[in-house]
Amino acid sequence: MEKVIYDEKNGLWYELQGDYYIPCLKLPEEERQPIGLWGQRHLRYIKQHRKVLYLNLLTNGKLYGHLADIDKQAEDVLSRLVKQMAEREGVTEKLKADNQMDWVARMNNIHSRATEIVNNDIIYA
């Protein structure tokens, strides 16, 4: 038996594995983009809870582009939310100069709430 054969009907190469011919399939080449914290969290989520979406993105070669987009969206929303919440609650540079500990406590609280919103609306949606 030949080790590798070509099927004219479907245009695929097959490799002999034991007694069976298995198609020689390769995933499409995908440009690897840097993925930050938010993209990694989303990747972990879709691997565990949205397996069909993960496999579709992986086999179409769009996974890293999708994760990079999610990462950018999450960063943009987080920074916008923190800025808006700080303005609304009166957390200013004047407060930072007058009472640093109060400013840090309030900013930590704002950042935690904004992170929770980003997690719920973008990462785990």
For the chain, what is the mean pLDDT? 93
Q: What is the pLDDT of residue 76?
A: 97
Average of pLDDT values for 71-82? 98
Domain spans in the chain, listed from the N-terminal domain onward: 1-30, 34-123
Which tokens go with 53? Answer: 């979406």
Average of pLDDT values for 31-39? 88
The H or E element spanning position 37 is: helix 37-49
pLDDT at 5 over 80: yes
The CA distance from 11 to 22, in Å, is: 14
Q: What is the pLDDT of residue 52?
A: 97
Instruction: Quickly tell me which residue has 């097959």 as its tokens.
Output: 14
Strand partners, 23: 14
pLDDT at 57 over 70: yes
Confidence at 32, pLDDT banded by 50, 70, 90? confident
pLDDT at 79 over 80: yes
Checking DSSP bridges between strand 20-23 and strand 12-17, what pairing results, if any? Answer: antiparallel
Q: Dihedral sign, CA of 80, 81, 84, 89?
A: negative
Q: What is the pLDDT of residue 59?
A: 86
pLDDT at 25 over 90: no
Q: What is the pLDDT of residue 27?
A: 67
Instruction: Quickly tell me which residue has 């080449």 as its tokens.
Output: 29
The CA distance from 57 to 71, in Å, is: 16
The CA distance from 83 to 28, in Å, is: 40
